[in-house]
């Protein structure tokens, strides 16, 4: 079944078509410029198998760039900054946590490298297939580039066979049909012209994410050019495959290399399991997030919120808590603990993390029974913790009487009685206490 196509808006007002498939850690695919069509590719079995495979254990994200496929066609800016806006619009629209990023070839490669260098906190892993240092056409493909101006039909036929390999004529013809539908000759030329002077040499040293560089020994992109990219990346691994094909969708060697790279370390440590039954619940939320979004702009606010979200989850883990993955900052960060002392210590440290990025937090802690369902917890105790957080002053940690009783002699803090509060949606008034000292 094909995924539902949706749209995101870029900062310069361009509509970008995208879809998502599967659940789990996000894996974002940059389009193979200038050819892309998020709907028609599903008509090609090789593409459908590729997408379905990678969506089995991950959230796969795929989009059409501006001027191409089902995205807005009437655009004139195809610069690297415009291409970065397309990618940012989609991942921001989905509010993705840090993600793995895929980029194929000499046009998409610079987009992936630039994004990873500019936003290191957002990219967990980068995969580059046949990258080059410069977008300037190589001598091996310059004839193909000139063919685009003279004979569009012959250019598409030749390009599709170069990608899929001449022995696989049926696959090449299917790809050629999709390429013809995805972009006009004028737009393809405009994309090539806008990116022709790009050189990523100086950016490569700034890419901190582990990077997989895939090359083919006899491919049109010479192996020494691909290895020169890998050599400049601080955390790169080079995988050289035999053959001259530039195809990836039907190649089991490519699939295996990607799977192994993305799954590394996942089995090294067991993921903390959410408790069921009695738990201490910490809820944190950014103070006046709506007003800050208006003041800073959505992109700037979300960048700060993501930075803080990562810091808070790190602190939660250090304090032996378990963050609930379904919650993200702005909607609230939720964590559960087995100890009231640990939850209070965590809340105080979270306050410091908020101050370090210029954001204040509402923080509330309650204890009670929770119900575990998948990667989330539910129950009245969770609702009470959220309401207590909402009742706190900026930068203040409020706890329920239950938590105060549990931590009164062990937390190394004092508690200031704030009296009984009637919390929205909670029948019984709750006696609340502000945490003083500690940290």
pLDDT tens digits along 34-70: 899 999 999 888 888 889 999 988 999 999 999 999 9
Task: Name all contacts of 5-12 with Cβ < 8 Å and 24+ positions apart.
Answer: 5/38, 5/39, 5/70, 6/93, 8/63, 8/89, 8/90, 8/92, 8/93, 9/89, 9/93, 10/66, 10/82, 10/85, 10/86, 10/88, 10/89, 11/85, 11/88, 11/89, 11/299, 12/77, 12/82, 12/85
Does residue 11 carry a pLDDT above 90? yes
Q: What is the mean pLDDT of the chain?
A: 85
pLDDT digits (tens, 9 = 90+) for 213-270: 999 888 778 888 899 999 999 999 999 988 776 777 767 888 889 999 998 755 444 4
> Is the per-residue pLDDT at 125 higher than 90?
yes
pLDDT at position 319 is: 83
Mean pLDDT across 380-393: 91
Flag whether pLDDT at 189 surpasses 60: yes
pLDDT at 410: 67
- Confidence (pTM): 0.61
- Mean pLDDT (whole number) for 382-402: 92
Q: Residue 332 has what pLDDT?
A: 66
| pLDDT surpassing 90 at residue 126 | yes
What is the predicted pLDDT for the residue at 268?
Answer: 40
pLDDT of residue 396: 92
What pLDDT, on a 0 to 100 scale, did the predictor assign at position 269?
A: 41
Considering only 117-131, 277-291, 391-405, which range has the smallest mean pLDDT? Answer: 277-291
Domains of the chain (ranges; CATH) run 6-263 (3.40.50.1820), 277-436 (3.30.70.1230)
């Amino acid at each position: 079944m094909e995924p539902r196509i949706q749209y995101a808006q870029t900062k310069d007002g361009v509509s970008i078509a995208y879809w998502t498939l599967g659940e789990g850690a996000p894996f974002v695919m940059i389009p193979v410029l200038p050819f892309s069509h998020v709907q028609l590719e599903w008509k090609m079995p090789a593409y459908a198998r590729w997408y379905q495979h990678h969506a089995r254990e991950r959230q796969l994200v795929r989009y059409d760039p501006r001027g191409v496929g089902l995205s807005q066609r009437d655009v004139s800016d195809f610069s690297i900054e415009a291409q970065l806006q397309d990618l940012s619009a989609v991942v921001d629209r989905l509010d993705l946590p840090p993600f793995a990023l895929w980029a194929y070839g000499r046009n998409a490669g610079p987009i992936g490298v630039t994004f990873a260098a500019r936003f290191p906190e957002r990219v967990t892993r980068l995969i580059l297939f046949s990258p080059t240092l410069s977008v300037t056409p190589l001598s091996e493909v310059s004839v193909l580039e000139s063919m685009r101006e003279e004979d569009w039909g012959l250019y598409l036929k030749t390009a599709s066979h170069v990608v899929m390999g001449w022995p696989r004529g049926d696959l090449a013809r299917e790809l050629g049909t999709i390429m013809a539908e995805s972009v006009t000759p004028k737009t393809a030329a405009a994309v090539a012209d806008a990116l022709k002077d790009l050189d990523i040499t100086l950016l490569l040293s700034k890419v901190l994410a582990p990077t997989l560089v895939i090359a083919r020994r006899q491919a049109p992109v010479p192996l020494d050019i691909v290895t020169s990219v890998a050599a400049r990346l601080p955390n790169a691994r080079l995988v050289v495959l035999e053959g001259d094909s530039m195809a990836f969708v039907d190649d089991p060697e490519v699939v295996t290399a990607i799977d192994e790279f993305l799954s590394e370390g996942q089995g090294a440590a067991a993921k903390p399991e959410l408790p069921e039954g009695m738990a201490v619940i910490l809820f944190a939320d950014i103070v006046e997030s709506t007003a800050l979004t208006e003041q800073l702009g959505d992109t700037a606010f979300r960048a700060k919120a993501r930075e803080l979200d990562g810091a808070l989850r790190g602190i939660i883990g250090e304090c032996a808590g378990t963050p609930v993955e379904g919650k993200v900052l702005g909607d609230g960060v939720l964590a559960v603990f087995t100890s009231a002392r640990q939850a209070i210590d965590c809340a105080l440290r979270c306050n410091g993390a908020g101050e370090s990025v210029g954001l204040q937090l509402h923080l509330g802690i309650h204890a009670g029974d929770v119900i575990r369902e998948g990667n989330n917890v539910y129950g009245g105790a969770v609702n009470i913790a959220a309401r207590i957080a909402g009742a706190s002053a900026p930068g203040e940690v409020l706890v329920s009487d239950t938590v105060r009783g549990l931590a009164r002699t062990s937390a190394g803090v004092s508690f200031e009685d704030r009296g009984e509060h009637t919390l929205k949606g909670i029948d019984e008034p709750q006696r609340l206490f502000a945490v003083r000292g500690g940290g």
